[in-house]
Chain A
C-alpha cells in the first residue's frame, strides 16, 4: 500500500494541517509504511466478532437534567489570543 502525494494532500486538508510539497513528499513514504504495517489485520477473520468500543463493563450513566455550572464566561475566554466583550474573535467569515 502506498499513498500518493495527492492522497496525502487530501488527508492533510481533512485534518486542517497546512503542508508544503516538500513536507508531503517526506510524509508520504512514512505514512505508506505505517498503513502497510496496520494492514496486517486484514489476514484475520473477524466476520462474527462484535467491534469493541469500550473495555469496561459499565453502562453510560445519566445525570439529573439540571444546570450544574455557569457564570464562568471570563474563565472560558481567559486563554484566548483574541476575546472581546464576552466573545471569541476569529477572522471574518461572512461577507
Chain B
C-alpha cells in the first residue's frame, strides 16, 4: 500500500512540518494513484502539471519560514462545478465542453491561498442534477467499493459529487470539494465510505460555482476523517462580497470544536425519518448511533418534523424552477459549442437540445412548466410556503435539542443502471438529505458501518443554522466510537 496516500490530511500536515516528506512527493504519490486507478473515471480533467507546480511553490514557502496556510501543500480534487482559471470547467455537460473560465471561484481562491494543491477536476452528475454520477456527458464514475458477493458489478458512487467522493475513497486525493443542493455531498459520502459536510447555506461563497438552484446550492467538502473536513471547510469558508447570500460572519475554528465532549448535549431523533421499507441494517445502524451518543454522555430525545413527507415534492418544484432560470444562459453565444444554424431561434433551440442530457432537459421542462403563466402560484409559491413549514419544523425541534441524528441515505450504493428508468425512484435517494437543504442547515455524513454486502453506510448529523461546530463535535464522537476501518477492495 502506498503509505503517503493512506494518510489523513491532519497527519500529512505533521509529516510536511517535520520534513518527513515534501508536498511534491505527496502530490506525486497521488498523481501515481490517479494513473493506477484511472478506470474509476473520478476525474474529467487531470492537472498534474499545475499540481506539481503548486506543490513546489508550497515546499519553497515552507522552506522560507513564512506564514503558511491551513492546507499548506495538501493535494485536493475540485468538483468540476467550480470555475478554475484557464482549466476546463464543464459541470459534466456537453454544453460547456471546452469552457476555460477566465476567473477563479472564491472557494478555490481561498483553498489556494491556504496552500492547497489542485490535482484535477472531478466528474459529477450533469449540472449537479442526480444521485448517481451517471448523467455526466463524460461517462460514469465508478465507486471503488464492491459487493462481497458480486465483485464484478460496478456500483455508483452516488451523486452529484460522485467523482470527488470516489477519488477521496480510493486515495486519488486527500480531500475534495463538493456542492450540495439536495444531498450531493452527503449521499455520495455515505455510498463511498467517507465523510462529507454541507455547511449552512451562506457559509461558503457561491461565486464562480456554476449555478443549479441558487437558493439551495452550497459548497462543502469530502475527506477521510471528520477533522480533515473541518480543516478543508475552514480554508474554503468566509464572507465574500461577490455573493450577496454569503454571510458576513466570522468563521469559527471548526477543528477545535472536535473535542470529544458531548456530555450534556441533547440529540434529536426525528420520528418521521423512520420511513416504510427502510432496510433493516440501516435502522440498526441508526439505533447503534443513538447508543454511541448515550455512551458518550449525551441525551437523546424523539422529535417530530411533521412536514418531512412533503420535502421531496417541495424540492422537486423549487430546484427545477431555479434550474430552468439559471440554465437559460446556455444559448451557444458566449461559451460552449454552438449549433451551426442560420436562424437565431434554430441556433438557440438546437444548441440546447444537443448540449443538455435527458435529466437536465426533464428538470428544465418541469421548472419551466411550474413557473409558466397560470401555474406559478399553484406550484412555485405553494412550494415556497411549504418550505417555510419545513424550516419551522426544524427550528421547533432545535428548541429541545442541539443537533439531530439520522441515516444519510435509504440504501447502500446501487448498481450502475439501477433506478435509471424511474426518475422518482432515483429522487427518493435524497429523502433524508433534502429537508435540511430546504432549511439551509449544516449536515454531515460519516461512515458508521457496513451492510451485509460489506458496503459502507453513513449516519447524518444535522445542526442549527451556523452551528457547524456542534455538527463536527457530535460527528467526531460518533467517528471515534464507530471506529470505521473498512476500506474499498481496490486498496487491499
Contact = CB atoms under 8 A, between A and B. Distances in A.
A80 B365 contact: no
Main secondary structure of the interface of B (DSSP, over half): helix
Contacts of B333: 80, 88, 90
Main secondary structure of the interface of A (DSSP, over half): loop
B390 to A, nearest CB: 9
Interface string A41-63: 11010100111111111101101
B368 A14 contact: yes
Contacts of A19: 353
A76 to B, nearest CB: 8
Interface string A28-44: 00110111011111101
Given A38-B379, A56-B440, A78-B102, A15 B388 contact: no
A47 B189 CA distance: 39
A52 B100 contact: no
A65 to B, nearest CB: 14
A37 B344 contact: no
Contact of A38 (B100, B316, B344): B316
A55 B392 CA distance: 11
A3 B370 CA distance: 12
Interface residues of A, number: 51
B248 interface: yes
Interface stretch (B23-31, B276-284, B334-342): B334-342
A15 B364 contact: yes
Given A31-B362, A80-B335, A55 B247 contact: no
B99 A79 contact: yes
Contact of B372 (A11, A17, A30, A75): A11
B389 interface: yes
A55 B324 CA distance: 20
A67 interface: no
Contact of B382 (A7, A12, A41, A80): A41
A34 B333 CA distance: 32
Interface residues of B, number: 73
B260 to A, nearest CB: 30
A8 B316 contact: no
Given A15-B324, A56-B245, A78-B102, A44 B310 contact: yes
A90 B347 contact: yes
A12 B353 CA distance: 10
Interface string B112-124: 0000000000000
Interface in B366-391: 366, 368-370, 372, 378-379, 381-389, 391
A58 B369 contact: no
A47 to B, nearest CB: 9
A22 interface: no
B388 A34 contact: no
A58 B98 CA distance: 37
Contact of B248 (A49, A58, A75, A88): A58
Given A56-B245, A81-B338, A35 B388 contact: no
18 contacts: A12-B365, A15-B324, A18-B350, A19-B353, A34-B424, A44-B389, A46-B385, A51-B384, A52-B384, A53-B384, A55-B387, A56-B247, A58-B202, A79-B100, A88-B334, A90-B347, A91-B341, A92-B342
Interface of A: 3, 7-8, 11-12, 14-19, 27, 30-31, 33-35, 37-42, 44, 46, 49-58, 60-61, 63, 72, 75-76, 78-82, 88, 90-93
